[in-house]
Structures are given as structure tokens and as C-alpha cells.
């Protein structure tokens, strides 16, 4: 619990509300030491791994998260691998397939020579070329358990005035790292992404969805216009260790 920060932002009168609204999450801080979790680079995969594609175009690899180190499960080893095409925003039902999450035990590291080629079209389909998925710089992540706090727009905490609401806004945004597993999404724009997932997929309601992974831009890797990637999953799917209905939204400033 970040009680020192609550005092620093003069929010002690709201401590009980803040504690009640907080959610457990796991954050990944970029480190020079080799770790099992990382963004960029190439993933650890199982034998016979088939690199995911969307309409014949290979997706970009975004992140690998160690299951034991992320608090996602106490029963499974291995990794969750996150892929996306890097240009669909996830606000249209037609974006289905633009982002994928796969579970792998990680028997071997995928190598550059095995990257698949896909056909890239431009100029309204008049120009075509073969291209492999972009490989981003590898940034290792030191994962640690933390707490995530709801954006003030969700109105889960009742403030007396705008000054205290703004103080809470600064407090709640003060814990971001390169990635976050679980918790509340730190939205750059509209904080209604769970509702968007329900609307676009036609599965469940906003309350049935939760953040699986948020990947933020860093000095070395940029998503959109210095934005963030947000993968959401149905709570029942996560409990069943099912990832075929995951939905990703990209936001930029």
C-alpha cells in the first residue's frame, strides 16, 4: 500500500476509499539484468510454433511475460506471448485478429532466420512487397507486485472539490512502469476500454472484462504516437486459461 504517497498528496481523508478501490497488479521495470519477462526481442516458444499472422501478414512480437513472475497463475509455468500488427487501434470490430496472445512453455528461443514473410500492400493495393515482422529492441523487465488505483473519472472515490480530485489524479498516475499486468488501465484518452471490448466482441459487459497487460512506450520502443497497448480479457476466460477472445486497444496522446 502506498500510504506515504497518500500522505504526500494530502489524501489521507480518503485513505479508506483508496484502499477499498485499489487492485493488485504486477509492474515490469526495465532493467539491464537478463529476465524471463521482456518487451521486444524474440519470444521463447515450443517446438512447432507457428508465428501468428493476420490476413497473411505476420504480427509484431510485443512482449513476453513469465506466468510465475506476473501473479497470473500459481499453477502454471511458461510464458504469455503478446503480438499485434502495430497499426490497428482496436476500435472497430473489423480489427479482429490484429492482436493475439499465446501461451507457451518456452522450450527454445525463436530465431531471426525463422521469421515468416508476409505480403504488404500499399497505394490501394497497387504496390506489393514481401516483409518480415519488425523486431523491436529487447528490454528486460524486473516484475514486482504493486497496487493499481482507479482513474478519478470512474468516480469510485468521492472528492470534496476539484483540487483534491486533481491531487488524486497525480497520485494514481505516479506508479507507471514499462508494463503492467492486471489492475486498472492507465488510459491516455477515454477510460472506457472495457466497455469497448464488450461492444466490439459482443461478449459480456464492461464488468466482465479486465486488463490483462498494458505495454507503454519507452525511449527505445514507441507504440503509435508515444502511446500504449492494452490487452483485455474476459474474467471467465482468464480463469479457464483461454486466450482466443482477447482484445487489444491502442491509445496515443
Identify the domain containing residue 240 by its residue range.
Answer: 3-251
pLDDT exceeds 70 at position 1: no
Q: Are 82 and 65 in contact (CB under 8 A)?
A: yes
Burial bucket for residue 251 (CB in 10 Å: 0-12, 13-18, 19+): buried
Can you tell me the distance from the alpha carbon of 232 to that of 246, in angstroms, rounded to the nearest whole number? Answer: 6
With cell 530465431, the residue in question is: 111
Whole-model pTM: value is 0.93
Whether the per-residue pLDDT at 230 is higher than 90: the answer is yes
Answer whether 168's CB lies under 8 Å from 9's CB. Answer: yes
| 129 within 8 A of 109, measured Cβ to Cβ | no
Please state the rounded mean pLDDT for residues 199-212. Answer: 98
Residue 157 has pLDDT above 60, yes or no: yes
- pLDDT range class, residue 185, cuts 50, 70, 90: very high
Q: What is the CATH number of the domain that holds 120?
A: 2.30.320.10
CA 246 – CA 142 distance, rounded (Å): 25
Structure confidence by residue, pLDDT tens digits, 4-43: 899 999 999 999 999 999 999 999 999 999 999 999 999 9
So what's the pLDDT on residue 25?
A: 96
User: Given this model, what pLDDT does residue 118 score?
Assistant: 80
Instruction: Work out the burial of residue 156: count CB atoms within 10 Å of its CB; fewer than 13 is exposed, 13-18 middle, 19 or more buried.
Output: middle
Mean pLDDT, residues 45-58: 93
- For the residues 115-122, what does the mean pLDDT come to? 78
CA gap 27, 180 in Å, rounded:
4
pLDDT 10s digits, 166-179: 999 899 888 889 99
**Alpha carbon distance 241, 218 (integer Å):** 29
φ, ψ dihedrals at 117, nearest 5°: -100, 145
Rounded CA separation 30/138 (Å):
10
Residue with cell 492482436: 99
26 has which bridge partners?
Answer: 145, 181
Q: And the C-alpha cell for 80?
A: 504469455
pLDDT digits (tens, 9 = 90+) for 233-247: 999 999 999 999 999
**Given the C-alpha cell 509455468, which residue does it identify?**
77
Question: What is the average pLDDT across 176-194?
Answer: 94
Mean pLDDT for the chain? 93
Q: What is the mean pLDDT of residues 47-60?
A: 93
**190 CB-near residues (< 8 Å, 6+ apart):** none
Count of structural domains, the chain: 1
Per residue in 61-72, pLDDT (tens digit) is 999 999 998 988
Instruction: List the Cα angle 74/65/62 in 5-degree steps.
Output: 155
253 pLDDT above the threshold of 80: no
Q: State the pLDDT confidence band at 223, using cuts at 50, 70 and 90.
A: very high
Amino acid at each position: 500500500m502506498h500510504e506515504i504517497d497518500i500522505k504526500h498528496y494530502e489524501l489521507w481523508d480518503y485513505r479508506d476509499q483508496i484502499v477499498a478501490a485499489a487492485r493488485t497488479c504486477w509492474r515490469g521495470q526495465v532493467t539491464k539484468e537478463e529476465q524471463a519477462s521482456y518487451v521486444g526481442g524474440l519470444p521463447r516458444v515450443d517446438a512447432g510454433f507457428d508465428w501468428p499472422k493476420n490476413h497473411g501478414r505476420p504480427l509484431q512480437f510485443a512482449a513476453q511475460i513469465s506466468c510465475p513472475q506476473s501473479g497470473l497463475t500459481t499453477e502454471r509455468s511458461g510464458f504469455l506471448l503478446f503480438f499485434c500488427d502495430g497499426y490497428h487501434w482496436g476500435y472497430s470490430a473489423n480489427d479482429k485478429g490484429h492482436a493475439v496472445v499465446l501461451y507457451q512453455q518456452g522450450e527454445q528461443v525463436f530465431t531471426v532466420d525463422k521469421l515468416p514473410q508476409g505480403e504488404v500492400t500499399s497505394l490501394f493495393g497497387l504496390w506489393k512487397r514481401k516483409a518480415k515482422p519488425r523486431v523491436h529492441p529487447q528490454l528486460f523487465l524486473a516484475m514486482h507486485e504493486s497496487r493499481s488505483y482507479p482513474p478519478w473519472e470512474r468516480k469510485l472515490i468521492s472528492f470534496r472539490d476539484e483540487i483534491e480530485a486533481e491531487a488524486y489524479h497525480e497520485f494514481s498516475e505516479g506508479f507507471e512502469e514499462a508494463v503492467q499486468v492486471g489492475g486498472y488501465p492507465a488510459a491516455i484518452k477515454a477510460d472506457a476500454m472495457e466497455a469497448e471490448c464488450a461492444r466490439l466482441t459482443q461478449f459480456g459487459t464492461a464488468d466482465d472484462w479486465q486488463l490483462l497487460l498494458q505495454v507503454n512506450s519507452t525511449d527505445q520502443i514507441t507504440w503509435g504516437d508515444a502511446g500504449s497497448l492494452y490487452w483485455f480479457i474476459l474474467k471467465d476466460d482468464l480463469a479457464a486459461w483461454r486466450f482466443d477472445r482477447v482484445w487489444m486497444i491502442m491509445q496515443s496522446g
